[in-house]
Amino acid sequence: MLIDLNYKYKELLELLQKEAPFIPDLTIVLGSGLGDFAKEVNIIKTLSTTELPRYPASTIQGHNGKIHFAKYDDKNILLFQGRIHFYEGYSLNKCILPVFIAYKLGCKKILLTNAAGGINAGLKPGDLMLHSSLNSIYFKKEMTELIGLASLEAKNKFTDFPSASFSNLIKNAAKKENIELKEGVYWFAKGPSYETPAEIKLIQEFGGDAVGMSTVHEAIFAAYLGMETASISCITNYAAGISPVKLSHDDVTETANLVKSVFERLVKRIISTAL
């Protein structure tokens, strides 16, 4: 059964379009442990997602459930402080809601961020990794229900990730800030548990450099909608089996906090040069 998102979220979209103080130049989805970036911009208006009709409640530590309309360097920014995860029990059409909202508010560019486990030996906790590609063995049926029987043009957009121009801009921003920005393939796993060492070995065999529980479906949907899309992982831990240390969400947020100043410098430079 195909899903009409315009109908499903009609009340929510009408409210947001009424409340929005501007058309966003750039949308940023802040991943686990990266939400403090909201303190680095000039907040014009904040909406709590708990007060928005049909918006899923955020249940994960480090995801505050706030939508900020903000300005930085005279640019209009839409910030999602927290995202909606599939492992929280939500259907895919709810998980891509921030992307859909950004698109309906007229935004043409989106930056997705997340915390991820490093698989590639060249990645260590604290690194930032720009996604050169995405992979997942999930969601084919669910994505089909969202986009329907796409036209040839739409199918081409469906795989238009990452945006070459946006990715090059991010690389240049990193150089200007003297930040070492790694590149690699991000692999999506459903969660909610961390991956087993055997799963990490499989992902490694199939070319995955880092693994996490978000972003892939958001990026695919954003590209399908024709948005310039890029995504960055903060490598917060070694994936299971690579390090003998047991994984925990506290370790993820702790590492993200340690690297947040570097992350913030990079994102600020991206905003200043992207628009």
Is the pLDDT higher at 228 or at 88? 228
Distance between CA atoms of residues 31 and 186, nearest Å:
14
Is the pLDDT higher at 247 or at 64? 64
* Beta-strand runs (E) in the chain: 26-30, 42-48, 66-72, 75-81, 109-118, 128-135, 181-188, 210-212, 228-238
Candidate from 101-105, 163-167, 220-224 with smallest mean pLDDT: 220-224
CATH code, domain with 230: 3.40.50.1580
Please list, residue by residue across 57-86, b when 16 or more beta carbons sit within 10 angstroms of its beta carbon and e when fewer do. ebebebbbbbbbbbbbeeebbbbbbbbbbb
| Phi, psi values for residue 128, rounded to 5° | -110, 130
Q: Is the pLDDT of residue 182 over 80?
A: yes
**2-11, 72-81, 245-254 — most confident range:** 72-81
Q: Is the pLDDT of residue 169 over 90?
A: yes
Q: Is the pLDDT of residue 73 over 80?
A: yes
Q: Is the pLDDT of residue 146 over 80?
A: no
Mean pLDDT along residues 81-100: 89
Q: Is the pLDDT of residue 159 over 70?
A: no
For residue 114, the model assigns a pLDDT of 93
Of 75, 70, 76, which Cα lies nearest the Cα of 23? 76
List, in sequence order, every residue forming a beta bridge with 183; answer none if it has no partner: 130
The percentage of the chain sitting over the pLDDT mark of 70, rounded to a whole number, equals 84
Q: Is the pLDDT of residue 99 over 80?
A: yes
Mean pLDDT along residues 67-85: 94
**DSSP string covering 91-124, please?**
-HHHHTHHHHHHHHTT--EEEEEEEEEE-STT--
For residue 148, the model assigns a pLDDT of 58
For residue 28, the model assigns a pLDDT of 97
Pure H helices in 49-89:
none
For residue 258, the model assigns a pLDDT of 77
Look at phi and psi of residue 62 and say left if phi exceeds 0, alpha if psi is from -120 to 50, else beta: left
For residue 2, the model assigns a pLDDT of 62
Domain total of the chain: 1
Mean of pLDDT over the chain? 87
Burial class (CB in 10 A: 0-12, 13-18, 19+), 111: buried
Q: Is the pLDDT of residue 142 over 70?
A: no
Mean pLDDT along residues 179-198: 91
Q: Is the pLDDT of residue 14 over 70?
A: yes
For residue 204, the model assigns a pLDDT of 93
Q: Is the pLDDT of residue 274 over 60?
A: yes
CA angle 179, 181, 184 (to 5 degrees): 175
The pair of structure tokens assigned to 191 is: 């969660």
Q: Is the pLDDT of residue 140 over 80?
A: no
Mean pLDDT along residues 238-242: 82
User: First CA to last CA across the chain, in angstroms?
Assistant: 38
- Domain of residue 194 covers 5-274
Q: Is the pLDDT of residue 234 over 60?
A: yes
Q: Is the pLDDT of residue 116 over 60?
A: yes
The pair of structure tokens assigned to 28 is: 């940023």
pTM: 0.92
Please answer whether residues 220 and 169 qualify as being in contact, where contact means their C-beta atoms are separated by less than 8 angstroms. no
Q: Is the pLDDT of residue 247 over 70?
A: no
